[in-house]
Structure 1
Amino acid sequence: MNRVNEEFTDHADLWYRLAEQKAAQYFATLYMQVMEKTYVPILTKDIEVWKRNHVHHRSWLSFFSRGKRKPDSRDYHRYIGWLDYTGKLDEYLDRSVSYIYMRDLGKALDSPDTQTRIQHVVADIKKHLIHSTAAKRGEQPEYMSVAGFYRWAQKEGIEIAAMWVIDKLKNVAAHIPKEMNAEQAQRKLIKIIVGVVLHVIEEMGEETPPAERSRRLDEAIRLGYSYGLTYPFVDDLLDSQVLTAGEKEQYSHMIRTALLTGFVPELNGWARNDMEFIQYVHSELRDAFEYIKGVQRPETVSTFFEQSYVFFHSQDLDRAKDLSNADYTNEELYLPVILKSSSSRLIVRSVLSARMDKGFDHRMFYYGIYNQLADDFADMFDDMKDGAVTPYTYYLKYRNQRSDLINPFELYWAVISHLIHNVYHSDAKTREVILDRAINGLKRCKQRIGTEKYNEIMEIFASDNPEFNRLVGQMVRKAEDVDFFDKLLRDQMNTTLKSDRKEKEDYQNTIQTVREQINNLLLIPKNNGTPKVKEPLIDAANYSLEGDGKRIRPILTWVMGVNEYGLNAAAIAPLLRSLEYMHTASLIFDDLPSQDNAPTRRGRPTLHKVHNSATAELTGLFLIQKAIKEQASLDQFDAKTVLSLMQYSAQKAEDMCMGQAMDLHSKGKVLTLDQLNMMCFYKTGIAFEACLVMPAILAQVKEPEIASLKRFAYHAGIAFQIKDDLLDVEGDLLVLGKPTRQDIQNNSSTFVSVLGQEGARKEMWEHYCLAVEALREVPRNTAFLKHLLDYLVNRDR
C-alpha cells in the first residue's frame, strides 16, 4: 500500500491535469454548440416530437368530470392513488425508474436487458405502492420509517447493518451544529446510502445465494454511509460558517493528505471551543475512510484514490472562488463543475469496486454536468444569498459587464442535446426521460418562486432564439405527465424530516413542562395535624420521590388524558400522583438487599442505604396506600368508572408483583425467550399499559382502541426492558445514575444473558417494530407515543 501511495503523491497533479484536459474538450464542444446555436434546431425538433405525448387538448366535457381532479403531489397517498386511478401510474414509474437507471446506475436505456430490469422494478414498486397507499391513513410511507427500514433489513438478513446505520444516522443528526442544516445532512446521507444499495442490488442477479446477497447488502449500507458522510462533514462543513478561514484551510489540507497518502492524519493543532464536534467528525471520517479503503480490491485502489482526489480538488477549486472577483474565465467556472459532477458519480462505482458496463465511464462523465446545472439553477437564489460562485450566480452578477460569459441556461440545453444525440445515440426513450426531467425542473422552480419572479429570471437567462424560448415556455405552462417519483420522495422526506423535528421539539417541550408540573404535585406535605411518628415515614417517601426520576409514566398518562382524551388536567392530578407513588414504591422494593440489592437509584443512594431495610419496606407500603387513596379521590368522574379504574389498577399491581417474583426465582436459571418476555411484561410492560389504559378508562374509550394501546404497551415495555439490560452491560454509571453490571452480579437472567448483546438488540428492534405497527391501529395523534418509543430504544440512561 505504501508503494501505491507514493505513486499517488507523485501523480496527483497529473491525474487532475488529465481529467481537466478531458473536461476542457467536453466544454469546448458545448461552447461551440452554444455560440453557433447548433443545439437549437436539433432540440426544437426533439421537443416538437416529445410534446405530442405531453400537451393534451381537452374537451369541454372534461371540466365537468368529477373525482379525477389532480391532487397536490405533496399529498403523497392521494397523489399515488390518483395516478393509479387515472391509469398514469405505470408511465410515471417507468420514466422515474428509467431516470434512476440513467443517473445513478449509468445505464443506457436502449439496452434490452436494462429495459427488462426496469419493468421488473416498476412492477415491484407499483405493487408496494398500491398496497401501502390502501393500508395507510395519510401517514408517512412505511419505507421512510425506521420500522419499515428494519423490516426490510430483516427480510434481507442484514439486521446488524441496519442497527448500525440507525445509530450512526442518529449520532450524525445529534452532532450537526446549528449553522448547518441537520435535515439536509440526513437526507443526503440517506440518499447516498440508498444509491449505493441500488448499485449493489443491480449488480446481483436472482442466482446470487442468499448469504452472499446479505453480505453484499450489509457492505453496501456501510459503504453508503462511509461515502455519504463526506457530504455533511466535508462539503457542507467547508461551505458553512462553522469553521474559520484558517480552520477550513487546515481541514482541507488534512483531507488532501489522506487522499494522497492513504492515511488520515492525527487531529493536531486545533484549538476550538467545540473540540468535541471536531473530534467526532475526525473520528467518523477516519473510520469511514479506513472502511472504504479496506474493502477495495488491489486492482481498484488506484482508481478509488484517483477519482477521490479529482472530486475533492475540483470541489476545493470551486469553493475557493470569490463572487467579488470579476475575472474568472468560462473555463475556470465550468471545468471544476464538469469534474466534480462526473467524478462524484464515478466514485460510487469505485467505492463498490463494481465492474464497469461498456460505456459506463463515458456516459457518467458527460452526464454529470446535466444534473449539476439543473441543481445550480434550482439553488441559485440561495447560492446568491450565500455569495457562492456557480455558473448561474456569476452570470447574474456579471452578465452586463462581461459579454464573453457563456449563458449557463443555454449551456444546459446544449448539454441536453449532446446527451440525447452524442452520448445516448438519439434513443427515443432517453429523449423522453431527459426532456421530462428538464421541463419538470422548470415547472417546480416556477411553482416554488412564483410566476412573476420566474418570468423575470427567464428574461435574463433566455437564449438568443425567441422561438426556442417560446417553445420552452409553452412546455412549462402546458406540458403534463413530467413529474418523477424521486422528487415525490424527496419532497416527502423533507416534509417528514421537518415534521419529525417539530414533533420531537414538541415532545421534549411537553416532557419538560409536564415533568415540572408532576414534580410539583408529588411531595407529600406535612402540616400541623401530622403526627410526629408519621413524619419520618413522610420524609423517607419524599426522599425517594425527590430523586431525578424521568416521570415517564405519569407524563404519558397526562399526555393521553389531557391532549388525546380531553380530560381536565386538574381532575386527573390524583391519578398522576398514584402512578408515581406506585412506581416509586416498586423501585424501593426492587432495590432492597433481599431483592436486587442496589446501592444507588436516580443518582442517589437507595432508601435502605440512607435509612435501613425496615424503613424502606414501610415506606414502600406507605406509598402504595397513598396511591390507592389518590385514586379514590378522583371525584370529578363517575363513581363506577373510578371503581373500574381501581379494580384495573389493583390487578396490574398484582401482576407486577408476580413479575418481580418471577425475576427473583429466575436468578441462576437460564430462561427461555418466552419466559423472559412474560417476566419482562409483568415487571415493566404492565406499568406502560396502565399509564395508557387508566386515562382511557376515565375517558370511557372503546375496547378496540384499548386493545391496540395494550399491544403497544406490551411491545414498548419489552423494548424498554431490553434497552435497560443492554445499558446494564454497556452504560455509563455517571449517565445512568445507578451501577452497571448489576444483573451479572445478581446472577439475573436477562435478554443479554439469554440472547447475547447482538441478539438482544435484534429482539429490541423487533419489539420496536411491533409497537409501531400497534400504533397504526390507534385512532389518535400518536406522535408523542412514537417519539417516546424512539426515546426508549435510543436513550443512554
Structure 2
Amino acid sequence: MVKTLLVDADHGYRQAERKAARYFDLLNKQVVEQAHVPALTSAIQLWKRTRIRRPAWRSMLAWQSKRPHAGDGYRYIQWLQRNGKLDDYLERSVSYMFMRDLGKSVSSSNTQAKIKRTAADIKRWLQNSAASGGNLELISLASLYRWAQKESVETTIIWAIDKLKHVAAHIPEGMSAEHAQRKLIKIIVGVVLHALEEMNGDELPAERARRLDEAIRLGYCYGLTYPFIDDLLDAQVLTDHEKTLYSQMIRTTLLTGTVPAMGEWKGMNRLLLQFAQSELREAFSYIKRHQPPKKQALFFEQAFVFFHAQELDRAKDLSDASYSNEDLYVPIILKSASSRLLARSILAASHDEEFEQHTFYYGIYNQLADDFADMETDKASGAVTPYTYYLTHRDQRPDLINPYELYWTVIFHLIQHVYRDDGKACEVILDRAINGLRRCKERIGSEEYGRLMKQFAFGGSAFHRLLQQMVDKAENVDFFDKLLRDRLVGMLRDDQSLKQEFHDTVHAAREQINESLPITKTEGLLPMKELLIDAANYSLAGDGKRLRPVMTWFMGVQYYGLTASSIVPLWRSLEYMHTASLIFDDLPTQDNASMRRGRLALHQVHNSATAELTGLLLIQRSTQEQASLEFDAETVLALIQYSAQAAEEMCAGQAMDLASKGRALTLDQLNAICFHKTGLAFEAALIMPAILARASKQEIAVLKAYAYHTGIAFQIKDDLLDQEGEAQVLGKPVMQDSANNTSTFVTVLGQEDARKQMWSHYCLAVEALGQLPRRCDFLRLVLDYMINRER
C-alpha cells in the first residue's frame, strides 16, 4: 500500500535552496567588495567604549584578583551582584535568547519590557536559590521540579526526566549519552520559550499548564531526531547498509508523516534500531495528533529540508577537493535556519514574518560559531565543515571563502541590514562574537589560538589587531546561557563519573560489610544457639542492598574521616538491627511475606518461633557491637542511647503500621508511619557516625531533615514498585500491599500523585543537603539511586 505524500520533496527543497543561494550570493558579494571591514571597524570602535575601561593599574590588579571565572557558577553570579553588573549581564543574555531563539528585534519597547521582566525573574530565582542554601546547583533535578510545581506540570517533567534517562540508556558506544541529553534539553527549552512567547499572560492556570505540557512533550518529540537521526547517522555505529536503509526510513517518514515498519533488520544493531524506530514512531504520532492538518504539511516540509540538507553535508568527503563554495554553505544556511523554524512550527504557532526572516538570516551566524568551536573535533573525525574544508584545501583552492571572514561578514550583514544598525542588537552580537573567541582561546591556549588566528586572519593587520585587543581586554561579554550550558555539560559529564564512583564506593563498602557480618560460632555452643546463629547468618547472607550500613561507612570514613576499622562494629550493629526488623516484618502475625532478599523468608525455612528468637538474638548482637566501639565512653554512651531511642520509635512505627491494616489512612498518617519505620533507619545510618565524629547540633539537624525526606521518598518508591515491579527483579512478591489490604502512598494518592510526592520529598532532601557545611555528592547520589532503582 502506497502512503499519501504530505510533502512535495523536490518542490519544497528547491524553493528553500533558491532562497539560501540568494542569501549566500549576497554574503559572497560583500566578501568580494570588502565593505564589511571598515563598517565592522567602526562598529567595534563604537562598541568598545562600553566594553574596555581604563582603571588605574592598582585597581585593575585588585579587580582581576577578585573576579571569579565566568563559568564558576554562583561565585561568579555573586561577584556580578556585588559589583552592580548582574542586571546588565542577565539583560544581555536574555536579549540574545530573544534574538536567537525567538527571532525578535530587541529595539521595540514591547520586547525590551519582556526582556527586563524575564531578566528580573531569573535574578529572583538566583537570589532565592542562594538564600535557601549556598551549595545548590544552578541546574539540578530539584530546581527543575520546583519550576514544574510552580507551573503545575509535575507529571510532565517526571515523564520528560524518565524519557531522557531512557534515551541515554540506549545511546550506543561510539556516541555520547551526555551530548544526546544536552541536545534534547536544549530543544525542549527552545520549544517551551516559543510556547511562553505565544501566551499573552491572560491564560487561566489550567490552560497555561496544558500548553506548557504540550510544549515539553513536543520539544522532546522534535529533539529526539537529533540523537536518533542526525547523531546516529553521523556516528560510526551503523554499517553503510544500515545507514542507507535507516535514511530511507526517515525520508519516508518525513514525506508521509508516518514512521514505516522496520521489516526484518539483521545484524548487531538490530535492537538499537528497533528502539530508535519505536521512539520515533511514538514521537511522530504525537506530533501529528497535536497539529491541525493544515499545519502538518508545513512542519514536515521544513523537517524534510532540514534532513536533506544534513544528508548532503553528511555525504561530503573531506579529501574531495572539488566542492564549490555553494556546496559548502547553502546546506548550512538551510539546516541552521530550519532547526530554529522547526522549534516554532512544531507548536503550530501563528505565522510570524519577523521571526521567519530573522531566523533565516541569523542561523548561519550560530552555525559558523558552533563549527568554529568544534573545529578540532570535526577535523579529527574527518567531518566536512567550512573550517575543516578550508584548512585542508586552501593552499590548492584559492577560490575558497575564508569561513572566519564569512562569519564576520554575516555579523556585518546582521548589524547593518537585518537589525538596521540598532545599538542594542549590535552590542549583543559583538559581545557574543568576542565571547566565542575568548572561550576558544581559554580552551586551546594562547599559543595554539595565535596559530589558528594567523590561518584565518583577514581584513589587514589593523583589523586583526583590533579583534584580538577586544578578545584580551573587553569586559562584560559573558552570557548566562553559556554559564548554564557549561554547568549542564559538566553536570551530565560529572553525573556519569559520580555514578560510577558511587557504584564503586557501594561495591567496595558492601564487600567489606558482607565479609564482616557473619556471626562466628565458638566451640561448645548449645545446639539451639548454634541453630539460631545459623538462622541469623541465613538472613544476613541474603542479597540485601546494605544501603544503611553503606551510608554509615561513607559518612564515617569518607565524610568524617574516621578509620574504616574503627566503625566496623557500627555498621554491623545497623545491619543486625535492620535484618532483625525484616525478620519480624515477614512473620505471619505481621506482614506475612514469604520471600525476602530473593529467598524464602526465615519463618518459611524454619518456623515463626525460630524467626522471632533469631530476631531477638540479632538485636542483642547489635547492642554488643555498639558497646565494643573504641571511642571515648561518653561518645559511645550517647550513641547507644540514641540507638535505643531510635529502635523504640521504629517499634512504635511497626505497631502503627500493623494497626492501620484494613483502614484508610490520611497522608499525614502515612508520613508518620513511614518516618518511624523507614526514615529513622536512614537517620540512624547518618547520625550515629556523626555522633562518633562529634558533629555539631546544627549539622545533625540537617542530616535528620535529609533522612526524613529520603525515608519517605524511599518508601514511596517501594510502594510504586509493589504495584509496577517484577517479583524476579525485586526479590519478593509484588502486589503484597493490596493482598494485605495495606494503605500505601499509591493506594492513598494514586500512582501519579504518589510520584509527585516522591519528587517533592526528593527536592526537600536535596535542599537539606545544601545546608551541610561541606558538599556531599554521595548523599545526593543515594537519593538518585532511591528514586531510579528497580528493586
Same fold (TM over 0.5): yes
Corresponding residue for 1:104?
101
Corresponding residue for 1:85?
82
Q: Which amino acid aligns with 2:4?
A: E
Greater shift after overlay, 108-117 or 514-523? 108-117
Say yes or no: does 1:656 pair with 2:650: yes
Q: Which amino acid aligns with 1:509?
A: D
Higher relative contact order (CA 8 A, sep 6+): 2
Corresponding residue for 1:42?
39
Q: What aligned pairs does 1:149-298 form with structure 2 within 5 A after superposition?
A: 149-273=144-268, 275-298=270-293
CA distance in 2, matches of 1:203, 1:724: 41
Q: What aligned pairs does 1:499-518 form with structure 2 within 5 A after superposition?
A: 499-518=494-513
For 1:397, what is the secondary structure of its paired residue?
A: helix
Say yes or no: does 1:643 pair with 2:660: no
Corresponding residue for 2:432?
437
Aligned counterpart in structure 2 of residue 6 of structure 1, from 1, 4, 7: 4
CA distance in 1, matches of 2:714, 2:62: 53
After TM superposition, give the deviation of residue 146 of structure 1 in Å: 0.7
Pair 1:57–1:779, CA change in 2 (3 A): closer
CA distance in 2, matches of 1:48, 1:694: 65
Greater shift after overlay, 657-666 or 511-520? 657-666
CA distance in 2, matches of 1:439, 1:131: 31
CA distance in 2, matches of 1:139, 1:210: 28
Aligned counterpart in structure 2 of residue 671 of structure 1, from 665, 672, 675: 665
Q: TM-score, normalised by structure 2?
A: 0.97
Greater shift after overlay, 52-61 or 99-108? 52-61
Say yes or no: does 1:74 pair with 2:71: yes
Greater shift after overlay, 272-281 or 203-212? 272-281
Q: Which amino acid aligns with 2:753?
A: G
Corresponding residue for 2:743?
749
For 2:384, what is the secondary structure of its paired residue?
A: coil
Say yes or no: does 1:299 pair with 2:299: no
CA distance in 1, matches of 2:636, 2:578: 20
Corresponding residue for 1:685?
679
Aligned counterpart in structure 2 of residue 792 of structure 1, from 772, 786, 789: 786
Contact 2:136/2:767 (CA < 8 Å) preserved in 1? no
Contact 1:585/1:620 (CA < 8 Å) preserved in 2? yes
CA distance in 2, matches of 1:699, 1:434: 54
CA distance in 2, matches of 1:726, 1:603: 19
Pair 1:371–1:709, CA change in 2 (3 A): same
CA distance in 2, matches of 1:467, 1:191: 38
Contact 1:80/1:133 (CA < 8 Å) preserved in 2? no
Q: What aligned pairs does 1:471-620 form with structure 2 within 5 A after superposition?
A: 471-620=466-615
Identity percentage of aligned residues: 62
CA distance in 2, matches of 1:610, 1:503: 40
String of CA shifts for 1:400-438, please: whole Å, max 9, x gaps: 011221111111111111112222222221111111111
CA distance in 1, matches of 2:267, 2:649: 54
Corresponding residue for 1:383?
378
Q: TM-score, normalised by structure 1?
A: 0.96
CA distance in 2, matches of 1:321, 1:119: 44
After TM superposition, give the deviation of residue 296 of structure 1 in Å: 0.8
Corresponding residue for 2:129?
132
Aligned length: 791
After TM superposition, give the deviation of residue 464 of structure 1 in Å: 4.8
After TM superposition, give the deviation of residue 61 of structure 1 in Å: 4.8
Q: Which amino acid aligns with 1:653?
A: A
After TM superposition, give the deviation of residue 68 of structure 1 in Å: 7.4
Corresponding residue for 1:27?
24
CA distance in 1, matches of 2:628, 2:473: 68
String of CA shifts for 1:619-646, please: whole Å, max 9, x gaps: 2122122212222222x11223222222
For 1:352, what is the secondary structure of its paired residue?
A: coil
Q: Which amino acid aligns with 1:478?
A: K
Corresponding residue for 1:470?
465
For 2:750, what is the secondary structure of its paired residue?
A: helix
String of CA shifts for 1:286-316, please: whole Å, max 9, x gaps: 2122112211122211110000000111111
For 2:183, what is the secondary structure of its paired residue?
A: helix
Greater shift after overlay, 532-541 or 429-438? 532-541
String of CA shifts for 1:247-286, please: whole Å, max 9, x gaps: 2222211111111111112233322335443333222222
After TM superposition, give the deviation of residue 65 of structure 1 in Å: 4.7
CA distance in 1, matches of 2:773, 2:431: 40
Contact 1:34/1:414 (CA < 8 Å) preserved in 2? yes
CA distance in 2, matches of 1:273, 1:146: 35
Contact 1:81/1:130 (CA < 8 Å) preserved in 2? no
After TM superposition, give the deviation of residue 156 of structure 1 in Å: 0.8
CA distance in 1, matches of 2:402, 2:26: 15
Greater shift after overlay, 521-530 or 766-775? 521-530
Pair 1:172–1:125, CA change in 2 (3 A): same
After TM superposition, give the deviation of residue 499 of structure 1 in Å: 2.7
For 1:571, what is the secondary structure of its paired residue?
A: helix
CA distance in 2, matches of 1:735, 1:487: 42
Q: Which amino acid aligns with 1:732?
A: E
Gapped regions of structure 1 (runs ≥ 5): none
CA distance in 1, matches of 2:706, 2:92: 40
CA distance in 2, matches of 1:96, 1:735: 48
CA distance in 2, matches of 1:320, 1:411: 23
Aligned counterpart in structure 1 of residue 441 of structure 2, from 437, 441, 446: 446
Contact 1:549/1:602 (CA < 8 Å) preserved in 2? yes
Say yes or no: does 1:146 pair with 2:141: yes
String of CA shifts for 1:545-593, please: whole Å, max 9, x gaps: 1110000011111111111222221121111111111111111111112
String of CA shifts for 1:433-490, please: whole Å, max 9, x gaps: 1111111111111121112211211111122533332322232233222121111111
Greater shift after overlay, 292-301 or 667-676? 292-301
Pair 1:138–1:702, CA change in 2 (3 A): closer
Gapped regions of structure 2 (runs ≥ 5): none
Contact 2:365/2:407 (CA < 8 Å) preserved in 1? yes
CA-based RMSD of the aligned residues comes to: 1.8
Q: What aligned pairs does 1:330-409 form with structure 2 within 5 A after superposition?
A: 330-409=325-404
Contact 1:173/1:182 (CA < 8 Å) preserved in 2? yes
Corresponding residue for 2:727?
733
Q: Which amino acid aligns with 2:384?
A: V
Corresponding residue for 1:766?
760
Contact 2:96/2:428 (CA < 8 Å) preserved in 1? yes
Q: Which amino acid aligns with 2:103?
A: G
After TM superposition, give the deviation of residue 737 of structure 1 in Å: 1.0
Contact 2:133/2:767 (CA < 8 Å) preserved in 1? no
Q: Which amino acid aligns with 1:678?
A: A
Corresponding residue for 2:13?
16
CA distance in 2, matches of 1:104, 1:781: 35
Contact 1:310/1:339 (CA < 8 Å) preserved in 2? yes
Say yes or no: does 1:310 pair with 2:305: yes
CA distance in 2, matches of 1:452, 1:63: 25
